[in-house]
A and B are shown apart, each in its own frame.
Chain A
Amino acid sequence: MTTDVLIAGAGIVGAAIAAAFREEGGKCLVVEPHTVGGGATAAGMGHVVVMDDSPAQLALTEYSRRLWDALPVPPSVEREHRGTLWVAADAEEMAEVARKHALFPASEILDERALYEAEPELRPGLAGGLLVPGDSVVYAPTAASWLLRLTPVRYTAIESLTPDGALLADGTQVSAGLTILACGTGITRLLPELPIKPRKGHLAITDRYPGFLRHQLVELGYLKSAHGHSNESVAFNVQPRSTGQILIGSSRQYGDESPDIRPELLSRMLRRAVEYMPRLVDLQVIRTWTGFRAATPDSLPLIGPVRDRVWVAAGHEGLGITTSLGSAALLLDRLLGDTPAIPPEPYLPERFA
């Protein structure tokens, strides 16, 4: 069979690319071995957040957030603009608040009292925080299926890449003008040379407690714990869902490729959350799960060509929901020869060649 663009992966990134390319009239085919939005897309929190680990990360997340805001998503996507509240535990973290404030337009510095007014369930004794009102949360699996609503999805795996496309696991030969691999950690099966490693995470979700939590809360120590490359870390990160449920994270681990829950790490993650929000202990946890982020050495995704007629969009680590739209836009601009809204160079895979 023949298609203009063959996309591997029906996660949020593949779906965003399919939607962007379709809009330009291209014929797309998405190949997915499991379920639409069923991998890291379903495992994550769906936080659309601006992050400033590096200037390139700031550029891509900010651009992507703008694209999310412009996207007319249906109610099933459960989008809510709660705003991120970065919580500072001490003076050192308040200095970080000041630094971020300068970078994030429309952000607001909260002192100790304003912090409690914003989130009364936080424990006393915290220093303050930074409110970033533009950040939002979406339910990513339905976002993926909505983005794919007009694109055919074939439920099978890519067996191998061929000179003019791909051989599918169901035996079909697909000839494609362009093949884009957007299959997260699964990408190294097809392109083992890419520096992408799975970084496991745990999450828990509670029953419905409307009003318990108002913003997406992240500890500023997150920077130290989560973006350090230590083997195992946890951080306080809780987010309200539109249902009133509360998502509780987060953990990061290298070197554990089993999807099983690690009870000790789950407990450590929950203890961290309770340190910030003591009354979480009374909430009913209804589910816990794990997922795998596709991590790169520099915490930036790989977006662009890797071979003749083979492009990739992978390695978004914990920011795949946010940066899916920006990634798709960069690839579309490249295809059309348009000038991209942000410089694409920091994300080109060739940086690791």
Chain B
Amino acid sequence: MPSTLVIGGGPAGLAAAWAAVQTGDTVTLLDDNPALGGQIWRGEIPSRYRRFLDPRVTVRTGVQIHSAAQLPSADRIILATGTRERFLPFPGWTLPHVLGAGGLQAMVKSGLPIAGKRVVVAGSGPLLLAVAAYLRKRGAKVLLVAEQAPYARVAAFTRSLWRQPGKLLQAAQLGLGLRYRTDSWPLRAAPGSVTLQGHGVLPCDYLACGFGLVTNTELPELLGCKVESGAVITDSKQRTTVPHIYFAGAGSVDRSILEGQIAGFDLERARALYPARDAAVRFDRLLDETFQLRSELNTLATPETIICRCEDVPFSAVWQQRDWRSAKLQTRCGMGPCQGRICGPALEHLCGWPAASVRPPIFPTRLENLLDLRE
């Protein structure tokens, strides 16, 4: 039986593993989190997708992939490494009450009590609403959802949803009762508060921020897959530029599931899903346009604002460097244990620097795990 290795147990990876099993493959799925479901579900997989948990799939969670040499051999590899939030530095963004939007949601899903806490959700994109709705459901007092995108663009986007009533319903449900404000973004945070553009100071227990999503391209890149402008290059069957390696799951849940299935299925069954996937990709593009980050966000960081949280490198040290490599070598920016995953996407935005090359280990790992690597 042909073997398929799936890396990542979020919506795309689960769908891919399920589809690959349907084609008769022996499937192994690896994920570095304690539970399946990815960042979006985190162990709470919605009932309509439970079928993806096929008992024929060999699942291993808590497995950190740090090097290509560590991957078990397989006839086909489907990478579903997911996305992470983009953070933009502003004064006070390193304070302990400032978390990622998805970050705070993840903490609540993994046991942080939020009932009665005052939360401001800020940044950009539909994830803000989803997070706000979730936190409210768990008892948080969501004071405001501050969306940086201009009102006109968000309004035009909402009107376009009439053509996709299902999505509209979803958006309406999410938005229900939430105070949502466009043209607003965090200017600075201080202990116990945030100052928002157009709104002033708002006392809060947590500020949950996210400025869109960044694809985790480290593992695809390490395996030699071509990556352009932060996206893994794939063909219609989700094949990357490396034979036998597929990539699925950049963007919304719907799209991720379709991409996962297309990657996992045989060609015939995959083809039937192309139109739906292409529609999902178009929808994501519309989202990207709507929630494009405005240039004012580039002026939030002051010279003293920390850009690299691992090494505490201020913006003033970084901006005079010629490129990413100089910034790394001369200021230590991006040289800490997060390996530039947080400051890299920020600097891509602030300075226009493309991401740097990738070396193993793609995650910090105990030295013991590197003692027995093979070619």
Contact = CB atoms under 8 A, between A and B. Distances in A.
Q: Do chains A and B touch in the complex (CB under 8 A)?
A: yes
Contacts of B337: 207, 284, 286
B339 A289 contact: no
Contacts of B371: 267, 270-271, 274, 281
Nearest to A78: B332
Nearest to B311: A243
B361 A288 contact: yes
B310 to A, nearest CB: 9
A204 B67 CA distance: 14
Q: How large is the interface on B (under 10, 10 to 19, 20 to 34, 35 or more residues)?
A: 20 to 34
B367 A289 contact: no
B50 interface: no
B1 interface: no
Contacts, number: 88
B116 to A, nearest CB: 37
Interface string B331-342: 000011101000
Contacts of A264: 69, 373-375
Interface in B347-375: 359-361, 364-368, 370-375
A6 to B, nearest CB: 21
Contacts of A38: 325-326, 329
Given A38-B326, A264-B375, A281 B368 contact: yes
A306 interface: no
A282 interface: yes
B160 interface: no
Given A270-B370, A288-B359, A35 B323 contact: yes
A34 interface: yes
Contacts of A206: 367
B329 A141 contact: yes
A285 B366 contact: yes
Nearest to A279: B367
B294 interface: no
Contacts of B322: 35, 155
B364 A207 contact: yes
B366 A284 contact: yes
A37 interface: yes
A204 B375 CA distance: 17
Contacts of A283: 366-367
Given A261-B360, A263-B360, A288-B360, A37 B329 contact: yes
Given A263-B373, A270-B371, A286 B359 contact: no
Interface string A5-32: 0000000000000000000000000000
A148 B325 CA distance: 17
Interface in B24-68: 67-68
A64 interface: no
Interface string A268-296: 00110010000011111111110000000
B172 to A, nearest CB: 45
A280 B367 contact: yes
B355 to A, nearest CB: 15
Interface residues of A, number: 33
Given A35-B322, A263-B69, A263-B374, A270 B360 contact: no
Given A35-B329, A42-B329, A281-B366, A286 B373 contact: no
B339 A287 contact: yes
A12 to B, nearest CB: 12
Given A284-B337, A285-B364, A204 B329 contact: no
Contacts of A250: none
A141 B328 CA distance: 10
Given A263-B360, A266-B373, A287-B339, A145 B367 contact: no
A206 B369 CA distance: 13
A287 B67 contact: no
Contacts of B325: 34-35, 38
B326 A36 contact: yes
A262 interface: yes
A345 B307 CA distance: 50
B330 interface: yes
Contacts of B374: 263-264
A142 interface: yes
Nearest to B68: A263
Nearest to B332: A243
A48 B365 CA distance: 29
Contacts of B370: 204, 266-267, 270, 285, 288
Q: Which of B68, B330, B335, B361 has the most CB of A within 10 A?
A: B330
Interface in B245-274: none
Contacts of B373: 263-264, 266-267
Contact of A285 (B69, B335, B361): B361
A125 B168 CA distance: 72
A284 B359 CA distance: 15
A178 B298 CA distance: 45
Contacts of A36: 326, 329-330
A36 B323 CA distance: 11
Interface in A228-282: 248, 261-264, 266-267, 270-271, 274, 280-282
A269 to B, nearest CB: 10
A263 B222 CA distance: 12
A287 B367 CA distance: 11
A42 B335 CA distance: 13
B96 to A, nearest CB: 20
Contact of A263 (B67, B330, B368): B67
B330 A142 contact: yes
Contacts of B339: 286-287
A155 B361 CA distance: 31
A274 B375 contact: no
A291 to B, nearest CB: 12
Contacts of B329: 35-38, 42, 141-142
Interface of B: 67-69, 322-323, 325-326, 329-330, 335-337, 339, 359-361, 364-368, 370-375
Given A36-B329, A271-B371, 14 more contacts: A35-B322, A36-B330, A37-B330, A38-B326, A141-B329, A142-B330, A263-B67, A264-B374, A266-B370, A267-B370, A267-B373, A286-B339, A288-B360, A288-B361
Interface of A: 34-38, 42, 141-142, 145, 155, 204, 206-207, 248, 261-264, 266-267, 270-271, 274, 280-289
7 contacts: A261-B359, A264-B375, A267-B373, A284-B366, A286-B336, A288-B361, A289-B359
4 A-B pairs with the lowest CB-CB distances in the bound complex, closest first: A263-B373, A263-B69, A281-B368, A141-B329
